[in-house]
Amino acid sequence: MLDREIDVEHCVYNEILRGEKETIVSDDGSLTLYSKEFDESYHSPKDGALRESLNKHVIPALTLHEGKSFVRILDICYGLGYNTLATLHYIKSQQLDIKVEIISPEFDEALVRSLKEFAYPPEFDALRPVIEALSNDFHYEDEQCKITILIGDARESISTLSDKIDIVYQDAFSPKVNPMLWTREWFADIRALCIKDAVLTTYSTAAATRMGLHENGFELHYYDAPHTRKSLIASPQRIESLEWIDMALKIARNPGAKSLRDDDLR
């Protein structure tokens, strides 16, 4: 991991932030950003930016698809690119014999273009050509991976997709500040793209998140990863190796629980 004593004030990247975002050193030593627009950080400073990406998203998702020769991943949203880059890092470091296609909507074009200057952890040093290409062209492709960033509104971007998805990293800003990417209708669009054994990972365990997924036919499971807080894994089918959430029982005990709805946000 990065040295915790990194001098953030002298990062070249600070010159690009222009007061809209602040650099944070998270607890695993990797850097993340705090968005003043959303009043939220891009990653949990406590869990650590790199550790959160690996332990809550990449490792469980790829482990549950172990043995597949190809997976298509929907990374919601690209942000600083940690989930996408951590996926490539993990595949290479573990020498996995798998090809991936990653599709990632992102509304902040200026942020993506600036990421070639971002001080990523040393685990991503070998991925500099990928970072450069994505910052410049929003696309990268080689013999093992294909990555496309869809600049614009994620709701509109998702509606243009037709290829089925194996893995969804549901990692948008929280339901509190970005509710349109957590509604029942949003999860309906996601569910329509998922194959029967698709895996959706998310840090949000909120009742509204669970209800939105449940109402769209997802089976829900709690996931405990090392050194990070409990997260959620959803799939169209029950995963026997994980702690299953009995949503019928949850609803019976809390009949007032409801999902977020598009109509309620207008």
pLDDT at 226: 83
Q: What percent of the chain has pLDDT over 70?
A: 93
What number is the average pLDDT over the span 178-184?
97
Q: For residue 119, what are the β-bridge partners?
A: none
Which three-class secondary structure state does DSSP give residue 129?
helix
pLDDT at 227: 86
Is residue 26 within 8 A of residue 43, CB to CB? The reply is yes
pLDDT tens digit string along 159-170?
999 999 999 999
pLDDT tens digit string along 190-230?
999 999 999 999 999 999 999 999 999 999 999 998 889 89
**If we measure between CA atoms, which residue out of 152, 174, 136 comes closest to residue 44?**
174
**If we measure between CA atoms, which residue out of 264, 41, 18 comes closest to residue 173?**
41
pLDDT at 181: 98
> Strand (E) positions, 116-176?
139-141, 145-151, 165-170
What number is the average pLDDT over the span 105-116?
97
**Has residue 2 got a pLDDT over 50?**
no
pLDDT at 17: 55
Mean pLDDT of the chain: 93
pTM over 0.85: yes
Round to whole Å and give the CA distance between 27 and 227: 10
Q: Is 244 left (phi over 0), alpha (psi -120 to 50) or beta?
A: beta
Which of 18-24's residues contact partners 24+ apart within 8 Å by CB, and which partners?
21/111
**Has residue 14 got a pLDDT over 70?**
no
Phi, psi of 230 (to 5 degrees): -60, 140
